[in-house]
Amino acid sequence: MPRPSLPQFPRVQDEAGAGGDSWGIFAFLCAALCNLPAVPALNGTEELGAGQSIQKTYDLTRYLEHQLRTLAGTYLNYLGPPFNEPDFNPPRLARAEQVPSATVDLDLWRGLTDNARLAANYRAYSRLLCYLRGLDGQAGTAELRHRLGHFCSSLQGLVVSIAGVMSSLGYPLPAGPAGPPPPPGAPAAPNDFLKKMDDFWLLKELQTWLWRSAKDFNRLKKKVPPAVVTLRLEARGF
Amino acid sequence: MNTAPQTGLVLPELAGRAPEPSTSRAAEGCAIFIYIYIYFFFFPPATSFFFYFLAADPAVISPQDPTLLIGSSLTATCTVSADFHLRAEDLYWTLNGRRLPAASYAALGPTTLSVALARLNGSKQQSGDNLVCHSRDGGILAGSCLYVGLPPEKPVNISCWSKNMKDLTCKWAPGTEGETFLHTNYTLKYKLRWYGRDNTCQEYHTAGPYSCHIPKDLALFTPYEIWVEASNRLGVAVSDVVMLDILDVVTTDPPADVHVSRVGDLEDQLSVRWSSPPALKDFLFQAKYQIQYRVEDSSEWKVVDDVGNQTSCRLAGLRPGTVYFVQVRCNPFGIYGSKKAGIWSDWSNPTAASTPRSERAAGGCDPKGGEQNTTLRRELKQFFGWVKKHAYGCSNLSIKLYDQWRVWLQKSHKTRNQVLPGDKL
């Protein structure tokens, strides 16, 4: 296996302009190298696993995004026009704040630590899963209910996958809604039309979150492997 | 709306609306801007839209989510809340996305607009028709879901069967065929005739959309009353009650191990053997059987009815040199001594065999001889090719193998071109 050698370090250093993260990695590597003889080579393989988990999670978000397109189309047709019109954009009511929003200031998003980035994803999908499961159990045809069920299972898989990445990188899982508790304090919609609007926004947020997560995991993918590979091979060198 | 996604900030159109007073509202406004940025960054809109953030319901529609009979009329009103500084003239209605004519509007007050809907058709979707009150620039103020349809008709044609006396599956047909404007819930109920307590079936859609399966706790030797209730928002309909004893509707698995073989050299006979379904020996019932067979190229089945309770039968009067497909099914009867028959099982999987080729056609002086030989040679070549691939060499070579190959040929649709009509005589 070829050694991608020390030049990795200068590359990390050049990225310093991009923000504190790269310096953080560099500092971590230095500290790690100093302790290297005490570090079993096995640690390296575990972190290589993190790279694969991140890739898998990324793939899963793309898959879910694709599934959601069909599911949302079918569900919005069930809600009927104008919900299934392409330019439909109803007002966002205060009560709809219950659904976690993917929106965030761009610079803030760029500056998120890996832990914060993963935690935001984990919390969001846990809650979105709750709401999705609460979608009308009698909704539409048996086929629609079946699709919804299948999507929920896949989304559950995503939550588990994110948890896996977090633990393989050594981050604790966010406390609180681990797994699906009943939607905390979310009042049932006072009428059927508002319920339809809630359903619409839920699907919209899900869509936005999946778009954002793909970018989140892409970012994580680029960050984790180089440090890991260097660490592993340095261990071999000693 | 002017949007320039790349520049980062987009101002929503707020023309004609009072500015938000409090700072918390301003903070919310910031959140909107950021949201719009991200929103447009990821999927730019094709058309302009109106976006605003609300803390309270802007308007109230009455009636909210009504249920109506097809053909009835409705007058709905939209009352805008005082905060919004809108008048009745600034409002309009849409139904399922289509604007309703202004001629049907009436202003009932400074902030209340009504609309008259006559002779309503059935709901376009089961989630309800969307009747929406809009402000002049298209923004949604409030909505109401209209459920328009008919009460259900009573379900019909209830039929049930029990697999090996262990469970009961029933299916029925809805009273109204075709579209149902409202979602209709079906509940299968049953009770012992002389014991009074109603039970509800829980496992639906096991044998089609209108079916239910009762897996356990069924009593034998005693009649049950079974019926189906259909209910929707407009009412309930109950089917006629069907009375049955589990033992009268028993069915079982098809017979196992069906073998079809030649009878020596006889050209027009085949012998069929099978074993009784495994459940039979446990339940003190006998079985009667039925055989059906057809020629390879035909879709017409011939049924042999008088098989009785034997587990073998000889088919006679067949064509020589022909491949036949055979299936067997069984019917449990004499269950616990009763004289009634049960319900026929499914047919077993088809088994194939061929009758020996007639001696007459094999003469060398036959003018068609040459043609037949080429066909036969070609067939043999294909057969040996297949044997090499599937039969692990020639040690298992037997006429059975040849028959299997013929079945395989049929399945891969290659038979058409290879077997000449002349050969079938």
What's the pLDDT tens digit per position in B14-58? 333 334 444 555 555 555 545 444 544 444 443 333 344 455 678
Residue contact A208–B42, C-beta within 8 A: yes
Q: What is the CA radius of gyration of chain B?
A: 36
- Judged against a pLDDT cut of 90, whether residue A78 lies above it is answered with yes
**Reduced DSSP (H G I as helix, E B as strand, rest coil) percent helix, strand, coil of chain B, to 5:** 20, 35, 45
- Judged against a pLDDT cut of 70, whether residue B309 lies above it is answered with yes
What is the rounded average pLDDT of the residues B405-418? 68
- Judged against a pLDDT cut of 90, whether residue B180 lies above it is answered with no
| pLDDT for position B240 | 96
**Which comes out higher in pLDDT, residue B199 or B366?**
B199
| pLDDT for position B391 | 63
Q: What contacts B94, CB < 8 A, 6 or more positions away? A: A82, B100, B130, B131, B132, B134
Beta strands B351-354 and B323-333: pairing type?
antiparallel
**Which comes out higher in pLDDT, residue B398 or B266?**
B266
Lowest-confidence segment of A12-21, B112-121, B220-229 by average pLDDT? A12-21
| pLDDT for position B204 | 92
List of chain A residues whose C-beta atoms are within 8 Å of the C-beta of residue B127: 78-80, 136, 139-140, 192, 196
Each residue's pLDDT tens digit, A122-131: 999 999 998 8
A77 → chain B, closest CA residue: B125
What is the rounded average pLDDT of the residues B333-351? 84
Number of neighbours of residue B289 by Cβ within 10 angstroms: 25
Residue contact A191–B65, C-beta within 8 A: yes
Q: Where are the beta strands (DSSP E) in B110-252?
A: 112-117, 129-135, 140-149, 156-163, 168-173, 185-192, 199-200, 203-204, 211-214, 223-232, 235-238, 242-245, 250-251
For A147, B74, B171, B385, B404, the CA distances from B211, given in Å and listed in that order, are 21, 37, 4, 49, 39
List of chain B residues whose C-beta atoms are within 8 Å of the C-beta of residue A101: 35
Q: Which one of A103, A109, A135, A200 would you mutate to disrupt binding with B, by most B Cβ within 10 Å of its Cβ?
A: A103
| pLDDT for position B119 | 94
Cβ(B351)–Cβ(B261) below 8 Å: no
Closest by Cα among B58, B148, B53, B141 to B92? B141
What proportion of chain B, given as a percentage, has pLDDT over 70? 77
Q: In what order do the strands lie in the sheet with B312-315?
A: B256-262, B270-275, B312-315
Cβ(B224)–Cβ(B235) below 8 Å: no
Each residue's pLDDT tens digit, A28-53: 555 555 555 544 444 555 555 778 88
Each residue's pLDDT tens digit, B386-398: 777 776 655 666 7
- The type of residue at A114 is D
Supply the ipTM of this predicted assembly.
0.71
- Cα end-to-end span (Å), chain B: 82
What kind and span of H or E run contains A124? helix A114-133
Work out how many CB contacts closer than 8 A connect A with B.
Answer: 105
Each residue's pLDDT tens digit, B124-151: 999 999 999 999 988 999 999 999 999 9
| pLDDT for position A48 | 56
pLDDT band at residue B112 under the 50/70/90 scheme = very high
A210 → chain B, closest CA residue: B42
Nearest CB partner across the interface for B54, out of A80, A94, A138: A94
- Judged against a pLDDT cut of 90, whether residue B160 lies above it is answered with yes
B44 → chain A, closest CA residue: A87
Lowest-confidence segment of A86-90, A108-112, B65-69, B418-422 by average pLDDT? B418-422
What is the rounded average pLDDT of the residues B395-403? 71
Angle at Cα B114 formed by Cα B112 and Cα B115, nearest 5°? 155
| Mean pLDDT of chain B, nearest integer | 80
Number of neighbours of residue A169 by Cβ within 10 angstroms: 19
Residue contact B54–A87, C-beta within 8 A: no
For A150, B257, B258, B415, the CA distances from B404, given in Å and listed in that order, are 41, 16, 14, 13
Lowest-confidence segment of A36-40, B91-95, B302-306, B384-388 by average pLDDT? A36-40
A14-34 burial, b for 16+ CB within 10 Å, e for fewer? Answer: eeeeeeebbeebbeebeebbe
**Which comes out higher in pLDDT, residue A114 or B421?**
A114
Please check whether residue A81 touches B, CB under 8 A.
yes
pLDDT band at residue B121 under the 50/70/90 scheme = very high
Residue contact B142–A104, C-beta within 8 A: no
What kind and span of H or E run contains B26? helix B23-42
A139 → chain B, closest CA residue: B127
How distant is the Cα of B55 from the closest Cα of chain A, in angstroms?
Answer: 5
pLDDT band at residue B65 under the 50/70/90 scheme = very high
Q: What contacts A27, CB < 8 A, 6 or more positions away? A: none
| pLDDT for position B43 | 45
List of chain A residues whose C-beta atoms are within 8 Å of the C-beta of residue B96: 80-82
Backbone angles phi, psi at B36, to 5 degrees: -60, -40
Q: Please, which residues 92-121 of chain A have a Cβ atom closer than 8 Å to chain B? A: 92-94, 101-106
**Which comes out higher in pLDDT, residue A189 or B8?**
A189
Nearest CB partner across the interface for A80, out of B49, B57, B130: B130
Residue the block writes with tokens 């057809």:
B294
Cβ(B104)–Cβ(B37) below 8 Å: no
Angle at Cα A149 formed by Cα A145 and Cα A155, nearest 5°? 140
| pLDDT for position B194 | 84
- Residue A15 token pair: 């990225």
List of chain B residues whose C-beta atoms are within 8 Å of the C-beta of residue A104: 34, 38
- Residue B91 token pair: 């409002």
How distant is the Cα of B47 from the closest Cα of chain A, in angstroms?
Answer: 7
What is the rounded average pLDDT of the residues B211-230? 92
pLDDT band at residue B333 under the 50/70/90 scheme = confident
